[in-house]
Amino acid sequence: MGKVESKVENKTEKTVEKKVADKKPVKSRRPSRARRSSNELKVIPLGGLGQIGLNMMLFEYGDDIIIVDCGLMFPEDYMLGIDLVIPDFTYLRKRADKIRGVVITHGHEDHTGALPFFLREFNVPVYGTKLTLGLIKEKLKEFKLLKKTKLITVKSTTKTTLGCFEVEYIPVAHSIADGVGLAIKTPVGTIIHSGDFKLDQTPVDGVLTDMHKFGDFGSKGVLALMADSTNVEKAGYSLSEKEIGRAFDDIFRDAKGRIIIAAFSSNIHRVQQVLDATHKHKRKLILNGRSMVNNFRIANELGYINVPKGVIAELSDLPKLSKYKVVLLTTGSQGEPMSALTRISLNDHKQIKIEKNDVVVLSSKFIPGNEKSIANVINSLYRRGADVIYEKVSEVHVSGHASQEELKILMNATKPKYFVPIHGEYRHLVRHSKLAQKVGIPKERTFLIENGDVICFNKKSARVKGNVEVGKVFIDGKGVGDVCNMVIRDRKHLSEDGIMIALLLINKRTAELSYGPEILASGVMLERQNEKMIEEAKELVKQMFNGLPTEAKRDIAEVKTEVSRCLRRLLNRKLLRRPMIFPIVVEV
């Protein structure tokens, strides 16, 4: 599998135990470095630090490894043509026999999305709560992995033994139901992994973050706290999810036409609030978008959604319903090119067309990097006559992540000896580290690390000791890792400067031109308006070829080099452009 942005694994120091000259027992001898390292817990992030998404953390002690989360991230702007990004599993491939299982904190894609690719290589059990595994099952069905994978449902009362590790599950409030934090008991102490969480005092499903359980572990002694940093830049407390219900109530009351709401399909709490508002205002709810329909079905089957009788309608019913009776819940809140909302905004959706007085609500955060796409969708919706409501103009989204005061409360409750900020861009990790110092965790006990860094814990100390190979693996269609940075650079070059192709057929016997040169320019200039320059390029290539020695004419690689050089000079002189030049030279 190809790797991108890789760190090179530090070679562990070779140790050689001194041979004892005689066989007399030794009363006191300092343990060898090899023996000392075997008593150390290694904590290694393979993704999720210094970035949003790609969350994957492993814990290694002796012959046992457990993995927490296995997420993906969506491509950044420079990743042209890439569909998804997953972590690099290189470190684990050499240690596959040590992996005891994967523990998933909750069902969001940035924590579960890489599982199908991981499980293709590693046949290990996956542990998660009921809803989390319900969402994972749907994904594994698509990849035909469900029958091969052992899925084990856990609860807050469950204790899971995985090799030398024991994992307990702590309920947390988040923007998806059934999320958990983890208490990982290791031979050197207890590690608390917060998962994604917030301290919502009025959660939609009534499930609070169990601070009593966090505090109980704190009173017994916590070696290290690893806590979500996503919302650390926000002071105070994150608003309750129920605040969205009040905002929806106002929107539904004032709407004079259809209401179209775009949200993340995994945000079951948000879906519930849309259902409640729809029922209260005597409308019908229509679900649109494959992931929205699937996740709704899974949550309903597992009992995580309360669906009032008669509130759901089908998309085929849309023409029959009064516009005062319709609520459409759809995907596409991030302006994804092929999403339902984007197609609606472009008037390209077969069944849903924007009408006057339609109200469109984007009930989600603008994820960094998606701002331009979302703005384009909003502009298109306005042009078609809709009234658009989004985060910057109304309280139609609240974060599922803890703000500063909530993060402080977790630190004070768990009283960790060491602190490791996780889940966030580098600036988030830095600010979270400083926040920890404000509540009394010394700077020297706060580890500001990035993907691949290895923290080694023992019962007396902790330190960062080298790093392992990590990176981003690109998924493009059915290809996994076959697109690397060089391919991305070529795509960028093509997208910015275009391509010029020069075709030459050379007589194998005489080493003279049999055909060409033929010049094609795509993305460089409009050929019909630049025929004179195309002819000039042909003539220059022809003159260059005729001037080559016979031996050089028979060397196809040499001919290609000279054609590229000739055309590059011409384009630079005439246009100040540097397209990709692709010479095709064939002997006939």
State the pLDDT at residue 486: 61
State the pLDDT at residue 481: 53
State the pLDDT at residue 277: 96
- Residues 88, 224: one domain? yes
- Residues 361, 403: one domain? no
Which of residues 540 and 170 earns the better pLDDT score?
A: 170
Q: pTM for the whole thing?
A: 0.80
Residue whose tokens read 């139901």: 177
State the pLDDT at residue 509: 87
Distance CA 131, CA 376 (A): 34
Within 10 A of 193 (CB to CB), how many other CB atoms are there? 26
| Burial category of 540 from C-beta neighbours within 10 Å (exposed 0-12, middle 13-18, buried 19 and up) | middle
Within a domain: 21: no
Examine the pLDDT at 20 and tell me if it is beyond 60: no
Identify which of 1-15, 31-45, 175-189, 386-400 has the greatest average pLDDT: 175-189
Within 10 A of 354 (CB to CB), how many other CB atoms are there? 21
Contact 48, 69 (CB under 8 A): yes
| Phi, psi (rounded to 5 degrees) for 320 | -85, -20
pLDDT in tens, 94-133: 999 999 999 999 999 999 999 999 999 999 999 999 999 9
Within a domain: 4: no
- Residues 221, 96: one domain? yes
- Residues 343, 444: one domain? no
- Residues 152, 246: one domain? no
Within a domain: 196: yes
Q: What is the CATH number of the domain that holds 256?
A: 3.40.50.10710
State the pLDDT at residue 69: 97
| The total number of structural domains that make up the chain | 3
Q: What is the CATH number of the domain that holds 502?
A: 3.10.20.580
State the pLDDT at residue 9: 38
State the pLDDT at residue 73: 83
Which of residues 36 and 162 earns the better pLDDT score?
A: 162
Average pLDDT along the chain: 87
pLDDT in tens, 133-171: 999 999 999 999 999 999 999 999 999 999 999 999 999
Let me know how many helices (H) and strands (E) the chain has, helices first: 17, 26
Examine the pLDDT at 318 and tell me if it is beyond 50: yes
- Residues 452, 502: one domain? no
Contact 213, 380 (CB under 8 A): no
> Would you state the structure tokens that stand for residue 283, as one six-digit string?
């409308």
Which of residues 343 and 524 earns the better pLDDT score?
A: 343
Examine the pLDDT at 200 and tell me if it is beyond 90: yes
CA distances from 493 to 102, 485, 519, 570, 572 (A): 40, 12, 19, 18, 15
Examine the pLDDT at 535 and tell me if it is beyond 80: yes
Distance CA 487, CA 533 (A): 30
State the pLDDT at residue 528: 62
Contact 384, 345 (CB under 8 A): yes
Contact 170, 190 (CB under 8 A): no
Boundary of a domain, candidates 361, 389, 417? 389
State the pLDDT at residue 79: 58
| DSSP summary character for residue 218 | H
Element (H, E) at 199: none
Boundary of a domain, candidates 389, 412, 429? 389
- Residues 450, 528: one domain? no
Domain housing 66: 33-236+399-480
Examine the pLDDT at 30 and tell me if it is beyond 80: no
- Residues 205, 61: one domain? yes
Contact 439, 246 (CB under 8 A): no
pLDDT band with cut points at 50, 70 and 90 for residue 529:
low
Examine the pLDDT at 76 and tell me if it is beyond 50: yes
- Residues 537, 426: one domain? no
Q: Where do the DSSP E strands lie in 16-93?
A: 41-47, 56-61, 64-68, 84-87
Element (H, E) at 144: none
State the pLDDT at residue 316: 94
Element (H, E) at 215: helix 211-220
CA distances from 567 to 96, 253, 551 (A): 51, 66, 22
Within a domain: 103: yes
- Residues 411, 384: one domain? no
Coil/strand/helix, residue 252: helix
Contact 46, 57 (CB under 8 A): yes
Q: What is the CATH number of the domain that holds 210?
A: 3.60.15.10
Contact 467, 455 (CB under 8 A): no
pLDDT band with cut points at 50, 70 and 90 for residue 315:
very high
Within a domain: 261: yes
State the pLDDT at residue 489: 63
Distance CA 116, CA 132 (A): 14
CA distances from 359 to 154, 280, 354, 476 (A): 41, 18, 9, 36
Q: What is the mean pLDDT of residues 45-66?
A: 95
pLDDT band with cut points at 50, 70 and 90 for residue 508:
confident
| DSSP summary character for residue 11 | P
| Per-residue burial over 383-417, b = 16 or more CB atoms within 10 Å of its CB, e = otherwise | ebebbbbbbeeeebbbbbbbbbebbebbbebbbbb
| Dihedral angle, C-alpha 278, 284, 288, 293, nearest 10 ° | 80
Boundary of a domain, candidates 480, 506, 537? 480
Question: Which of 420, 357, 361, 362 is CA-nearest to residue 384?
Answer: 357
pLDDT band with cut points at 50, 70 and 90 for residue 12:
very low
| Strands of the 222-228 sheet, one edge to the other | 159-162, 165-172, 179-186, 189-193, 222-228, 416-422
State the pLDDT at residue 482: 53
pLDDT in tens, 398-425: 999 999 999 999 999 999 999 999 999 9
Largest CA distance in the chain: 95
pLDDT band with cut points at 50, 70 and 90 for residue 514:
confident
| DSSP summary character for residue 315 | G
Within a domain: 25: no
Examine the pLDDT at 253 and tell me if it is beyond 90: yes
Within a domain: 301: yes
Residue whose tokens read 């089957």: 301
Residue whose tokens read 């290589």: 121
3-state secondary structure 477-535: CCEECCCCHHHHHHHHHHHHHCEEEEEEEECCCCCCEEEEEEEEEECCCCHHHCHHHHH
pLDDT in tens, 375-406: 999 999 999 999 999 987 777 889 999 999 99
State the pLDDT at residue 487: 59
Q: What is the mean pLDDT of residues 23-35?
A: 38
Residue whose tokens read 């609500």: 361
> Comparing 167-176, 321-330, 455-464, 524-533, which segment has the lowest mean pLDDT?
524-533
> Would you state the structure tokens that stand for residue 115, as one six-digit string?
């599982």
Within 10 A of 468 (CB to CB), how many other CB atoms are there? 22
Question: Which of 139, 88, 121, 92 is CA-nearest to residue 481?
Answer: 88
Which of residues 480 and 260 earns the better pLDDT score?
A: 260
> Active-site positions?
228, 401
Within a domain: 8: no
- Residues 343, 416: one domain? no
Q: What is the mean pLDDT of residues 267-273?
A: 94
pLDDT in tens, 218-241: 999 999 999 999 999 999 999 999
- Residues 126, 179: one domain? yes
State the pLDDT at residue 492: 62
